Every structure is written in C-alpha cells, then in structure tokens.
A and B are shown apart, each in its own frame.
Chain A
C-alpha cells in the first residue's frame, strides 16, 4: 500500500511542478530542457524515500518478525540487501514514468528532438545513485529504531544534510582552498551536479558506491548488536 501511494504522490508532485505550476513549469521556462525535473526530484525524494524505507526494519522489530528472519538460514547481508534492493526498486519504479516527460520535450522541442540527451541520461543515472544513497540511509535509520515516525524524520533530516549541508559548509569562511573542495565532495549535491552534466566520472561513482556501502554496513552492525 505504501508503495503505491508513494509512487502516485511522487508522480503527482513532480508532474504538478514541472507542467502545471507556472513558477517552475518547463513550459514557462521555454527551453527544451528536462533540467527542472532533476532539480525537483531530489527534493521530492527527500520525502518519498523516507516514506518507503521507514517501515523496513522498524516494522519487523515492532512485530517481532525480525526474530523470525534472524533465525532462518539467512545471513545478515541477505536480509539487508533484500530490504535495500526492494526499497530502491520502488524508487526506480516511481522514476520510470517520468520518461514520458523526456518524450514530451523531444516532441515539443523546436526543432523536434532538440534536447541534450547526454545530459538527460547522465541526470537519470545521477538520480538513481541519489536514490541509492537516500535509500541506504533510510534502511540504516530504520534499523536503529522500532518507531517508524522517528525513522522517517531521521531519514529526511539525514538526506537533507547529506545533500546540502556540505555545500553550505564549504561556503562558510571555515573552509577555504583545497579544503573547500574536499568538504563539498563529502556532500551529494556536488557529485550529483557533476553526473547531471553528462560526465560520468569514476570519482563520483566511487563516492556514491562508498556511501551506499557505508550505510548498508552500518545496518548490518546494528542488526548484529541486537544479539548482544
């Protein structure tokens, strides 16, 4: 149920912002670019993904079914990866219908097909990686509490921090020069912007993969701690 609602709300919100609300609408913007989608999607994901992941472990803990899973011949990694991939799949399924927007702009552009496809591909990849990190954070935070609401709030907050906080920090006089770039690089926005330009840099991919790995590893640690 949560899955269906999340997908519908995501598509509704992005649809409204991109095509209806004149402030943000692509049509008003007048340029054949899907860039707006990729500016808005992270914001919507910041609420959508916590909604998807909030119950993943908290629910199991509350029902007691976690004990059932843990006593079955499944490794901790089996359980965590299973939950993670299921949540990520849901986020990606929510994204797929947005390909219609791409098709629409291709058709509406003058001349037809006048759109930077490379950037669009890069942006979708960036968005999937972004969803990947948000989801992994959500799974981890769901595993440290049995209260779904707490999991939701923490996840939304952590996603917010990860996305923006570092860029903001680097702008302060606290950091300068090379340190500036390093701090920026700890945040998602920096790498997301890079990929969105259509450049797939291994450093960015490394960042995304390590962050996802970090959160999933933390989840396994948190599961293990329960036994003691």
Chain B
C-alpha cells in the first residue's frame, strides 16, 4: 500500500523523462529514490503529487488514484518540492499559519507552534523567511510538509546544500517521522540514503535499474571484500596468499596494502595472527564495506 507506481511514463517532446516505471513504497518504511541528475526522480515525484500529469501509467497514494482523486490525495500527502520554494516576504509563523489554513486544520496556532518546535525553528519563528539560512529554510519547507500530519511524505532532495550538522538533524527528524507513515525521498548523497533507507529504487535515464530492500542489494553485487592494511614493517605479498589464494592486490607498497578478497571471507583475524607471528605490528586495519556508491556507479555507468 501507500505509494504505488505502475507503468508510469512521461515524455517531453522527444525525450522520455520516465519510461514505463513501476515500484512501490511501503508504510512504515523510508524509501530512497536515487539516480543521476536527469534520471527522472523529480518528474516521478511531481506526478505523485499531481503537479504533473503522466502520459501513461497510474500512480496510487494509499490506494487512491492520483488523477481521479486528486483533492483527497493532496490532503494526504506532504510534499517538499525540489529547491524548496517559499515566500521570502512572509514570516515563518505567518507562512506556516497560511499553509495550516489551506489544510483547514483545527487549533492552528497550537499546531503551528508544535511543528515549529518539531523541526527546531523555535528561535527563528518570528523572522522573515528571506533572512533565514539555507538550513533553516529547509526546515521551514519540511515543516509545511508535515504540518497536517500526512500519511505520505514525499521529499525531493531534502538535504541538498546542508552542512553535516544540519544533515544529521534532518536525518533524525525523518527517522522520527517514519512510524505510521510512508516516506519517500530523493538524494544524491548516497551515504545518507544508505544510513536511513529501508528500500532503494535507483533510476537511470528514466528507467528503474535497481529496486530492492537495502540488505538484498549488497548481496547480489559481488561478494568480494576489501581490506586496507598498514604495517609497521614491510611484509611480503606471499603472506597474504598463504591465507587465501584468490586475492587481488589493489595497492601493495612495502607496508601499506589494499587487498580484495574475492571469496568474501573475512580473513582479518587470520591476518592479525600471521602478522604477529611474523614479528610485525599492525598500525591500522579496516574492511571497506561495499557501499551504495559502488553499486550506483556500476548500474548507472553510461
């Protein structure tokens, strides 16, 4: 349930922005929509929020067809558009009150204060939006998306342009909202997507190239692991090969090694023992996790 996209297509004159895509986002989960620029992420989100009309296919929010039940759908979704458009001449409280009125909320003043508190804008609530920094403006955008407590949250690049602290705060906020809601957000910052998403959909050139629970994605693409090692004294490559025969040496200076263990076996413990037995010492050893970035690059390479 919650967000369902079936055979959605959108064509701009000759270019297919999205081409027959289908995917689902579940309640209680955070789904990440990822892809290179121009892949069709924003287009998909705009169709989900009835800001654009699809040329083919259907979109459903909580079982309701977005085209047929537009008004009902719009009152159930919270949307943060790309570039976070706001009215710069309005004050924060004024703007949120305006949005609350559009949603016909009860106890508007109380609700506005609640939401301002929830996104951490209490100190800025009497300021004009034009005088806020980007991070705070982003929070105002998120505030207007959640003020009516929607079942479905659609966030287009909610963390673009934020500094690491702000990203952390928004991340916490999104995680807090996860319960009982369906959240879908798009981002380029794969680290973020990886850290909070339960499910990832990768778009490239208008097509879906990957769509899976995060845990499954890693299993399919290469089991090899990479270990980075720094030793006090030089060591021979043969020592590694004696542990496992199928090892690729990505980097091999005298005491600095980056090796790829094709089988995927975690041989760190054995390496430790061997190094010590050799009379050598380990200064640092780390296993590089396969990460989303590599997967991303491999499926979106031109």
Contact = CB atoms under 8 A, between A and B. Distances in A.
B32 to A, nearest CB: 21
A86 interface: no
A68 B75 contact: no
Interface residues on B, range: 20 to 34
Contact of B85 (A64, A72, A228): A64
Interface in B46-79: 46, 49-53, 71, 74-75, 77, 79
A71 B85 contact: no
B126 interface: no
A65 interface: yes
Interface string B60-102: 0000000000010011010101010111100000000001001
A78 to B, nearest CB: 9
B49 A227 contact: no
Contacts of A228: 52-53
A201 interface: no
A99 interface: no
Per DSSP, chain A at the interface is loop
Contacts of B49: 71
A65 B53 contact: no
Interface of B: 46, 49-53, 71, 74-75, 77, 79, 81, 83, 85-88, 99, 102-104, 144
Interface of A: 63-65, 67-68, 70-75, 227-228
28 contacts: A63-B86, A63-B87, A63-B88, A64-B81, A64-B83, A65-B86, A67-B81, A67-B85, A68-B79, A68-B81, A68-B85, A68-B144, A70-B51, A71-B49, A71-B50, A71-B51, A71-B74, A72-B74, A72-B99, A73-B71, A73-B104, A74-B102, A75-B71, A227-B50, A227-B51, A227-B52, A227-B53, A228-B52
